[in-house]
Structure formats: C-alpha cells, structure tokens
Amino acid sequence: MTLDPLLLSRLQFAWVIAWHILLPAFTVGLASYIALLEGLHFFTKQEIYFRIAGFWTRIFAVSFAMGVVSGIIMPFQFGTNWSRYADATANVLSPLLAYEGMMAFFLEATFLGVLLFGRGRVPRWMHLFAAMMVALGTLFSSFWILAANSWMQTPAGFAVVRGRFFPTDWAAIVFNPSAPYRLAHTVVGFYVTSGLVVLGVAAFLIRRRTHAAEGKAMLSTTLWLLLGLVPLQMVLGDMHGLNTRRYQPIKLAAIEARWTTMARAPLTLFAIPDETHQTNRAAIDVPLLGSLLLTHGPNGVVEGLEAAPRADRPPVAIVFFAFRIMVGAGVLMLVVVLWGNLLRRRGRVYESRLFLTACQFAAPLGFIAVIAGWTTTEVGRQPWTVYGLLRTAQSVSPSLTGPDVAATLAGYVLAYIVMFPAGILVMARIVRRGPVSQDADSPVQAGLPGEPILALGGRRGEAEGGS
C-alpha cells in the first residue's frame, strides 16, 4: 500500500479541525454566559453569581487554553499541507484570517489574562469589561473565520487570473451568499452546545445536593435560554438549507441522497446510499415531504446528483448520515428543553430525577451536532476547496510525500489523544469540586496557584489578609 499525501493531508486536516472545533463550540457560548453572570453579579451584587462565574471561568480557562494551542495549528496547515490552495486563495482569504487575528485573538488572549488573574488588580467594572471583551472576541473570531469558510462554499466578489483568485469586491467577499446563514446557524449552535453543557453540569450538582442552589440557578436561566435558542436554531437551519439548495444544489442532493432530479420529491428518512449503482438501498421514504421541506411547496423541483458529473460529487453516504445525526441530535435537544420547561410549569423541574439524568446525558449532544453539521457542510463541499473552482486534489502542497504527512499526522494524533482526554479529565475534576468559593481552591482566581503560597508558609496569612 502506498501512502497518498493527498488523502493523508485530508485526514490530518479533518483530525485537527474536528478536535479544534469542539473548543470554540464550547467557549463561544461559555464566554457570553460568563459575561452574563459577571454582569448579574455586578448589578445585583448577589454572591451566588460570583461563585458560578468563577466556577465556569475555571472551566473556560482550561478549554480556552486547549482552543488556543489547537487553533494555532490551523493557519499553518494552509502552508504545510495546502500550499497551492494558499497560493491560489491568499489574495482573497488572507485578510479575513488576519482580521480574525487582529480583532479577536489579541482581544481574547489579553483580556482573558485580566479575567483570570486580575480580579484583585483591577476594579470590578473593569473585570466585567474584561469578561465582555473576551465574549466579544469569540464573536469577532466566529464572524471572520466563518466569512472565510463561507467564501470557500459560495465564492463571490473575485476574478480568476492565471489560476489564482483576485479580489474585486470586498463587501461581496465578506458577505458572500452563505455567510450570514452559516454565521447565524453556527453561533447559535455554539450557544446551544454550551447551554447543554451548563444544563448537564447543573443537573449533576442538583442531584448530588452539594451546591444545589448554584445548580438550580444555572439550570433555570439556561432552560429559558435554550427554550429560545433551540427552536431558533431549527429555523436558522432551515434557512441555511434553502441557501444551500440555491448555491450548492449538489451538496443538498447528497444530504438527501437524491440521485435523480424530480418534482414532488419524497424525503428519505433512512437509506444506505449506494454510490456505484447510484441508488438507495433499504430506503424509508415519506412522499412529498422532500419537496415540502426543501422548497416549501409540494411541487418544488429538487435537483439530483445526476446533474453533476461523478467527479464533481461529494461522497454521498458520509454527508447523508452526518446530516441525519445532526438533525437527530437537534430533535433530542428540543425534547429535553420542552420537557424541562413543562416540568418547570408544574414546579417539578428540580425534583424529577429522570429529567435531571436526561440533562446529564444530553450534555454532549451539542458537540455531536456540531461535528455532524460541520462534516455535512465540509464533506459536502468536496471535491472542491473553493466550490466549483479549485479542486482539493489541486490544493495540496506539491513537495509532500506520503511518509512526510504520515509522520506529522501521527504526531497530531498522538498529541491530541493525550491532550484531549487530559483536558476532559481536568474539567471533570473542576465540575466535581463544584462552584466552591474562590479562595479555597483557586489557582486561577487568586492569580497565583495555591502552592507557592503554601510553600512560603509565613507569608500566607499576609497574603490572605490582603484579599
């Protein structure tokens, strides 16, 4: 078997981006939640919000550090493995990435330092301001990176000269046709993901009865937020789908495993797409529903995969199943959220052990949906890096050999199978300890870890006396 540098480079990119995206999926929402808690504490002066904010800030610090180190890897991938893509697209895409760096990364990194270590060094309002800047940074970051990603899906505002893209209209590039939909769908998805984690942790704290008050406060706010966000996410998903139908019909055909173009199309709930025979096996179809959902009318025409030559089609099965996993996760989320709000109306939301257990199991649903949704849209973009214009096969660095990429891929695999479980373990430990008040256990909030204080015995009283 020969090692194919293209395939290995794709695997490497998929590996590093799939792990990386889990972290913004969590921290984007969490940053806003922490800013909200800091604001609640600032204006109501209730200590409970302070403790909860501190608790989530500790978790945020761990996940953010993981997000930073796995994120720095990403832009360099364009150079190491995708240099021809970089050469072809840099004139258009690089400013979007650079703006992400300048507007978001510095803001997040610098103000996170103040948020974590500056509690006693800056006034209260400044600390709230730092929390807001971190949250704002995560949103700026989402905006620019999704603008760049969307341009790869629905390129606009450019001219091609000798195989390279040149900008002609920056507004059209940044606000390309899929950008607003993708941004809204992704950011709300990230908020929901964080919300479900908060819900699960809250349920855990309530069930365990230590820190139940904090757990109830978290559960209550989050259940309200999710009651708005989860249905909103479904509406946004539908709008994003309509946008995909208009600009990337072949991707949509793969999502639906629709081989032939037809009006009054059915919706295939389940099937095993057979790419060699271009048909679905074991299909469960609902008549007319395909046209109804995708075109919002029973007679709408849904384009099939046959409209594109085979070489221009994405792998159907992956896209088809990934989409169904995403939608399935979304439906489960809706069930949990509706159930919780129903229980709340009956005043039993904190007592129902079944519901609280369900919340704990629902905690990772957002991550599953994010990965599945990301797979749908990115695998659905194949075989192109810039949709319809630049092939993935023509994007890879020409100097790379199979063993080169195998070596770096092995390195990334090894690093992440150490780092991610360790990070999850570390965060689980913080959760188990619960929202204790910060001085007892708080390397982060105190600005300095407990140990140097212990080590310098005599100064300890002094240090605490100053708090």
Partner 1 sequence: MSFALDLTFVWAAILALAVLFYVLLDGFDLGVGMLFGLAPDTPTRNLLMNAIAPVWDGNETWLVLGGIGLLAAFPLAFAIVIPAVQFPIALMLLALVFRGVAFEFRYRDRERKSFWDFGFCYGSLMATFAQGVVLGAYIQGFKVDGRRFAGTSLDCFTPFSMMTGAALVFGYGLLGACWLILKTEGEVQRQARRQARWCMVGVLGAIAIVSVWTPLADADIARRWFTWPNVAFFAPVPAVTAAIAVWQWRSLNDGSEAAPFLGTLGLFLMSYLGIAISLFPMVVPHRYDLWQAASSPSTQAFLLIGTVVLLPIILIYTAWSYWVFRGKVRGDLGYH
- Nearest CA to 362 out of 190, 194, 186, 187 is that of 194
Q: Which long-range CB contacts under 8 A does 345-354 form with residues at least 24 apart?
A: 349/219, 349/220, 349/223, 350/206, 350/212, 350/216, 350/219, 353/207
The one segment of 57-65, 236-244, 288-296, 337-345 that binds partner 1 by CB under 8 A:
57-65
β-strand partners of 279: 274
69 binds partner 1 (CB under 8 A): yes
The residue within the footprint of partner 1, chosen from 27, 57, 81, 153 (CB under 8 A), is 81
284 binds partner 1 (CB under 8 A): no
Shortest distance, position 408 Cβ to partner 1, whole Å: 4
The residue within the footprint of partner 1, chosen from 68, 293, 325, 389 (CB under 8 A), is 68
Residues 121-150 that bind partner 1 (CB under 8 A): 121-122
Residues 384-403 that bind partner 1 (CB under 8 A): 397-401
CB-nearer residue toward partner 1: 328 or 402: 402
The residue within the footprint of partner 1, chosen from 143, 259, 323, 412 (CB under 8 A), is 412
Q: What angle do CA 93, 97, 102 make, to 5 degrees?
A: 145
Residues 166-195 that bind partner 1 (CB under 8 A): 166-168, 170
The one segment of 35-43, 59-67, 209-217, 272-280 that binds partner 1 by CB under 8 A:
59-67
What's the burial of 192, exposed, middle or buried (CB within 10 Å: 0-12/13-18/19+)?
buried
320 and 220 Cβ atoms separated by less than 8 Å = no
Distance, C-alpha 174 to centroid of its chain: 20
Residues 219-238 that bind partner 1 (CB under 8 A): none
Which phi and psi (to 5°) does residue 304 adopt?
-105, 170
458 binds partner 1 (CB under 8 A): no
The residue within the footprint of partner 1, chosen from 22, 28, 31, 114 (CB under 8 A), is 114
271 binds partner 1 (CB under 8 A): no
Cβ-Cβ contacts under 8 Å for 406 (sequence gap 6 or more): 3, 8
Q: Around Cβ 296, how many Cβ atoms within 10 Å?
A: 10
The one segment of 77-85, 224-232, 239-247, 251-259 that binds partner 1 by CB under 8 A:
77-85
The one segment of 293-301, 317-325, 349-357, 444-452 that binds partner 1 by CB under 8 A:
444-452
Give the pair of three-digit tokens for residue 128: 């709230």
CA distance 465 to 450: 15
451 binds partner 1 (CB under 8 A): yes
- Nearest CA to 194 out of 9, 374, 30 is that of 30
On the CB side of 355, CA atoms within 13 Å amount to: 21
Give the pair of three-digit tokens for residue 227: 């009651």
The residue within the footprint of partner 1, chosen from 10, 51, 119, 185 (CB under 8 A), is 119
Which phi and psi (to 5°) does residue 308 adopt?
-120, 145
CB-nearer residue toward partner 1: 162 or 209: 162
The residue within the footprint of partner 1, chosen from 366, 423, 434, 435 (CB under 8 A), is 423
Residues 83-102 that bind partner 1 (CB under 8 A): 83-84, 86-87, 90-92, 94-95, 97-99, 101-102
CA distance 45 to 139: 27
CA distance 190 to 179: 16
Build a one-symbol-per-residue string for 343-382: x at contacts with partner 1 by CB under 8 A, - elsewhere.
Answer: ----------------------------------------
